[in-house]
Amino acid sequence: MKAPRTTGRIRLSRAGRRRVQTLVVLLSVLMAVASAVLAGSLLVNASAPFDRAFAQQHGAQLTLQVDPARADAARLAATGRPGRLTGVTAASGPYRTAQIDPPGPGGIDMHQTMTVVGRATPTGGVDDLALRSGHWATAPGQIVLAVYSGQGASNLPDNVNKPGDVISVSPAPGSAKLTVVGFASSVTGSADGWVVPAEIDALHSAGAPTGLQMLYRFRSAGTTAQVNADRAALTAALPPGAVLGAQSYLDVKLAADENTALFVPVMTAFGILGLLMSVIIIASVVSGAVSAQTRRIGTLKAIGLSPGQVVRVYLVQALIPSAVGAVLGAVVGDLLGAALAGDSEAVYGGSSAAGAWWIDLAVPAAALVLVALAALLPALRAGRLSTVEALALGRAPRSGRGQWAHRAAARLPLPRAVTLGLASPFTRPVRSAALLAAVVFGTTAATFALGLTSSASAVTTARHPSQQAPVSVFLNGQTPDGKGFSADPASTLATIEAQPGTASYVGQTQSEVTVAGAAGTVQVRLYQGNSGSQALAMIHGRWFGRPGEIVVPTHFLASTGTRVGQRVTLVDRGVRVPVRIVGEDFDPGNAGLVINADLATLIGAEPTAHPDIYSVMLKPGTSAAGYVAALSRALGSSGAQAVADPGEHLNATVIAFDAMAVLLTLILVSVAGLGVLNSVVLDTRERVHDLGVCKAVGMTPGQTVTQVLTSVAGAGVIAGVIGVPAGVALHDYVIPLVLRTAGSGTPPQVQNVYGLPELLLLGLGGVVIAACGALLPAGWAAKARTATALRTE
């Protein structure tokens, strides 16, 4: 009857007296659980991010734009009443809309119309808006702007990016102005901005075109055919010509999935890496902690405990700090998830699932099961030992284990402290293997993360030419009295060429054609001049060099069944234009259906086509500001306007992705360091008597530190040799997979991001991780007094 109470006291007293080991177990489980909770949240976030955000925000499956002159608000509202039309289950609106045209940099008319909707509140039952910053518009003269996937306000100049900024509703002098009071997102992109309903009247009075918007959800809208049927039913219920336009959520989903496809597999890989490392660390820490107490088990048997009681003692002893660490780890994981929530929303364009309740329950429970299993195996093995055998074995490894390593290391022309450290891992090969696995995972994670962040930046650079033009000249401008007109392309080009600082230029405009095998029209980017300076990254082939040659993205080749080198026919305004595909470029945007060609290629079909913008490259040493001032004087009142590029634009999604990758890497490396710390603490405690003997014969504290650090240096070197190639291989597997998911091939500058200096530094990273994990026990061993160490056995 007394044995259970005795074992209970033993469990608690041992946990209290082995403070370092208990703390290591607690911290290791804490970090592993925190990493696993965060990894699980990432995996949940990576699973159908658009669908999750669509459900959370009650997205509109169909957005209808209606002409108020043909269907008034009452008649439009009647179409949204459940039961009035077959299939409609919910609706919101009608909302009045207005079209505004904010000017770009320098007051230039960018011809990018924004749809502004009058809504009193961000919620309405359908298409609830998520307020990202600031507050909702509450008075006339205020506007809430739309943000999509962290990219900033839609169709606005770069200087409009925070609450308090002011925009004009048109480029005309004296036009009405609106103060930005907040930023919100619509999962279905129903508008570019929102104002109070009364503001629509003011915009209408100022000449802005107005309309009505209605948002619907249906009983069946899972396919394009079903959405089209629902749209047809609504159109039939309204007067002819009342419906001006409609947007299906399936089109928005396609665009959103193209964006997140670049990040979902990456976050999944990080999540799986974190979960695997958590399993390895917890198992090695707990099994090592139990197996290190074999002699204590012999003592417990000597005082009368049965094998079953011994097993229970060490199970509970492992579970007590592990349970505390698991609970704290779930809390830390949720805090880290909250810190990453904004970045996750920026990457996925929806609400974050970090901190999901079932993850907080499942991960700690799984960790405790893993702790129990990891502790049970060595406890059962020790419990089966006879009392005499357990007492005799004590802390010491099996006789003769690792002696060959000590003999081999002793022959090396190295200090004795170093050779002892190099040979010591072979004394406990299983524990050393666990330490090696932890450092390998940490090195792999660091290598993988560096490659990912480099590739993410390379993706942005590849899609937007690296040689950004410092000066842009727009041919659509404004006279001083506010009247707009187009400048003459020929005279504008002559002025640019005559400017002393001009090195080269390239003009750009856009058109649309049809291509056999491609559904609908296809956008064409037309270039004039030195187009190579604005060339996209190439996957195969080359950039076009003359009229009649085109460069297309991967998806164009797949959808049309063509290949590089093949001829196709473009149809432009009824004119058939034969061309040859000379290159495959990296351009997964716009559904991967954008053709790049020389302006002269379509001149037969569009004889009046001319560039809308000229990008100007300057001669070395030419000041962009001075050049713009001189060119503006030369252009005079032609209407063309020269603007200096403000510099490199940072992609908010890439910044968010980099932040997530760096934080995840730090967490995984920290977990690996704790695995090293645990192994070295156990080794140092087991060898404390040997350390005392070494100190007694003259080993200094510095030599003791050297011996302990050297014992993990070999694992660090091997981890670098294994982990760096593993990280590179994982990167080289994930990146093409990511880009194939986005419908594109992989350009070399996105794939080949590792240089020799980076690889060498990453190889040393394994040694750094191992050394950092061993510093604390090395310091403890160096400070231990010789007499104390000799008495400890």
Report the run of H or E that residue 287 belongs to, with start and end.
helix 264-291
* pLDDT at residue number 481: 42
* pLDDT at residue number 251: 75
With left for phi above 0 and alpha for psi between -120 and 50, is residue 486 left, alpha or beta? beta
Categorize the per-residue pLDDT at 13 as very low, low, confident or very high, splitting at 50, 70 and 90: very low
Q: Which pairs with CB-CB distance under 8 Å and at least 24 residues apart come from 454-457?
A: 454/753, 454/754, 455/731, 455/735, 455/750, 455/751, 455/753, 456/262, 456/654, 456/657, 456/658, 456/661, 457/654, 457/658
Categorize the per-residue pLDDT at 161 as very low, low, confident or very high, splitting at 50, 70 and 90: low
Which whole number is the average pLDDT over 301-307? Answer: 68
Nearest CA to 431 among 556, 549, 287? 287
Which whole number is the average pLDDT over 401-428? Answer: 67
Categorize the per-residue pLDDT at 150 as very low, low, confident or very high, splitting at 50, 70 and 90: very low
* pLDDT at residue number 580: 92
The larger pLDDT score, comparing residue 780 to residue 542, is at 542
* pLDDT at residue number 691: 64
Which amino acid makes up residue 10?
I
* pLDDT at residue number 151: 38
Q: State yes or no: pLDDT of 17 exceeds 60.
A: no
Nearest CA to 581 among 569, 563, 604, 593? 563
pLDDT digits (tens, 9 = 90+) for 661-713: 677 677 767 777 776 776 676 666 666 556 666 666 667 777 777 777 777 77
Nearest CA to 184 among 301, 403, 3, 351? 351
The larger pLDDT score, comparing residue 254 to residue 228, is at 228
Which whole number is the average pLDDT over 723-728? Answer: 89
* pLDDT at residue number 11: 45
The larger pLDDT score, comparing residue 549 to residue 777, is at 549
For the chain, what is the mean pLDDT?
A: 75
Q: Percentage of the chain with pLDDT > 70?
A: 65
251 HSE (CA, 13 A, CB side): 11
The one-character DSSP state at 225 is H
pTM: 0.64
* pLDDT at residue number 476: 64
Backbone dihedral angles phi then psi of residue 147, each to the nearest 5 degrees: -125, 140
What pairing do the DSSP bridges indicate for beta strands 476-478 and 538-541? unpaired
pLDDT digits (tens, 9 = 90+) for 83-130: 666 688 888 888 998 888 777 655 555 556 788 898 988 887 888 888
pLDDT digits (tens, 9 = 90+) for 624-641: 888 888 888 888 777 777
Q: State yes or no: pLDDT of 540 exceeds 50.
A: yes
Q: State yes or no: pLDDT of 1 exceeds 50.
A: no
Q: State yes or no: pLDDT of 36 exceeds 70.
A: yes
* pLDDT at residue number 670: 74
* pLDDT at residue number 437: 76
* pLDDT at residue number 715: 75
pLDDT digits (tens, 9 = 90+) for 40-98: 776 666 666 677 778 878 888 888 888 888 888 888 888 887 766 668 888 888 899 88
pLDDT digits (tens, 9 = 90+) for 764-774: 877 777 777 77
Q: Which residues pair with 177 in a beta bridge?
A: 168
* pLDDT at residue number 346: 54
Q: State yes or no: pLDDT of 135 exceeds 80.
A: yes
* pLDDT at residue number 582: 92
Categorize the per-residue pLDDT at 297 as very low, low, confident or very high, splitting at 50, 70 and 90: low
